[in-house]
Chain A
Amino acid sequence: MTDLKNRFMLMLSDEPTAPNDLESIVSAGRRARRRRQAAMAAVSTIGVAGLTTAVAVPIAMTGGTGSDDKVGVQAQQKPSPSPSATRGNCYLIAAKPKAAKLTLQRFVRSGKVGDHPEVTQMRALKDGRTVLQVCSPGASASQPTDEAAEPPTGPPYHYTEQPEDIAARLGAHLTNRVTNWGLDITYTRPFAQETSTLEKGHPAYFDGNVDVHEAQGYGDIGVQVTHKTTEQVPFTGDCNAADNCEETTLDDGSVLRTGEVKAGPGLTVVTAEVHRPDGVVVQAQMSNYPFGPDAGTQDHGDQPLSLKQLISLAQDPDFTF
């Protein structure tokens, strides 16, 4: 260690207690994600007219098709890929032809898309500006948008329950399952879905979780149920996305994946997810640490369930909508 580093450390001797504002950070992060996704959707399909000249909006990690807000249903052929499966960014730039070159040069200098980005002309706007898609090398650029592009195929999906009823039913069922294992629930995050993933007002997925107290401390159990009509919720994708991942095809044709992810020193999240033949994916997770608002002061426990119990949650047919 250098002398300078030692002296930096001495500067920290009067460190005050850190604020406990993790909840507000998470809330702000959720809002920021929603704003970002809303901006992506607005840019990609509604039009870029509202954007000022030379505003670049990140449209997605690679693979973004810019069709987030299209309404309709497409059968999911396979689980959504992990966001880590591809690399690079794509951005949309709206600029007038004379300013486009300069705008691009500035954008390249920003380093966001590398020195040799792939540029695709998407379309011309009524005010004379042109929409360009700028992707870092290797990022899979989407095809130029055609106004008359076909909407997603398939009939609209009609939910048979109101979203709040679905949330209440799933939440009650998780509570029932957990308490039947003799665990004390200390915090409940009701089943909900991010509003940004609504498809024409319908929820694409629900998730909720409960913190539980077991002999050694606190842990958490959560379930996420995703309907077959969405490809917006990333799951573990390839089995190698998690440690000790195992994939098994069950008798009914479902695919069961189990694995674990290290979330930090001594912190582990264990996942069991079942991809059912009807397209529903249920992901059950447990962790040896709590998620609730008191998480910072609670002792970490052991994993609250056995792997067998966790798998039974993922296979539970009542987790559906």
Chain B
Amino acid sequence: MRVTQNMISRQYNRNLNNAFSKYSYATQQSTDYRAFYTAGENPMGYSKLFSYRQQISKNDTYQANVKNVQSRMDTAESSLTSINTMLSEISSTDYLKGVTGTTSAEDREVIATKILAMRETLISTANAKYGDDYLFGGSNSSDAPFTVAADGSVLYRGINVVTLKYAGSDGKGASCNVNNSTVDFGAANGTAFNGYSLIINDSTAPSTVDTQSKTITVNLDISGGTNTKGDLEAALQGLDYSAMGGSVDKTAISIGGDASGIISARRVEINGGADPIAAGTPVADMDALANEAVYVDIGLGLDVSSANEINKQSAFNTAIPGISFLGYGVSNGGIPNNLYVLMGDIASQLTAADFSMDKIQPYLDAFDTQSSKVLTSMTEIGAKTKFVEYTTASLTTQGDNLANQRANVEYIDTLDAIENYSTAAYSYKAALQAGKNLLQYSFLDFMD
């Protein structure tokens, strides 16, 4: 084939260009060791890389969540331990063990005082916080779960732990608790509102009363700013209750608290206002509260339906409702189950003029029963803590694996990068040198 200077110089130009572009790519790779810079260079690698990145991000979040959960469990465990210690002190160490029918009144007085002092500690420990959150409040972590009302009754999230009624409803008429204020449906209305639910929606549609589903739906324009307690009161007083039969005195409906307080959308059960619940009657409210669950996603394959039903195996329940170990309601004979109330009752039994072992024994038995439930709760938390530890270890291992796999896809071996660079640099230099000889002579240089 005939070869001309033109051809040689053009080909040389092209090849030199190629060598130089390889050299510049190798230089870039040797500074950041990336395997590729665009999806076009390695589409499958790009796809894998981003899959790893997303998984790593999730893994990091799970690890953070688990750490949080771990700390809370630790704090909860230590609170429960101190409660347990206190309870065993009371029942098995000094106090109640030594009480017999012949203990003197002065001794009994001393023991009663000690017990009363200890029960304050019980409440404050049950209201323990982790940071800004109350540990034993179930799904409500912003308000203290246990409060003692002025008349000495104990409330768990506004419900009396013995009578299981919402506070303020002692025979005065149905009521419910909305944003920490009581909506009183009025003693004049008797039991008309018993069993109803109050639903507050953010809507501008008219409010309704539905006797079939037993709901009172109040629509406030919450996002539009018409959502104060005063508005709620006005809405309730303005509703048409004729469907409920009988005559409902609207003006008897009132809501406590500051009228300018904010209401948020919610659904609340209205509690009957007549007598306290009889022993043994299941009460949906308190049972639900005692079994409340608050879920955290720690990477167990979270499964939630669009109607918000959570598959319990797919998330971790961090809720430890205080009422579940402190007890609620009454058992046979009208003895309350709640430890705080029991301690108060035991103290008053001890100081009573007609003290007798027969009279105090049921209380002592109830106290022992509930104390063992505290122990059970502690064991459960211990098991949860173990599970969390296991999950932490597993997540850490997963995270390391993912990081490794990602690095394998995203980066090239340092040695390879440096080798590529050296080779490319050498080729380029060699090409430059060859050019010097290639483009020099032609026949014309040798003519006379």
Q: Are A and B a genuine interacting pair, yes or no?
A: no
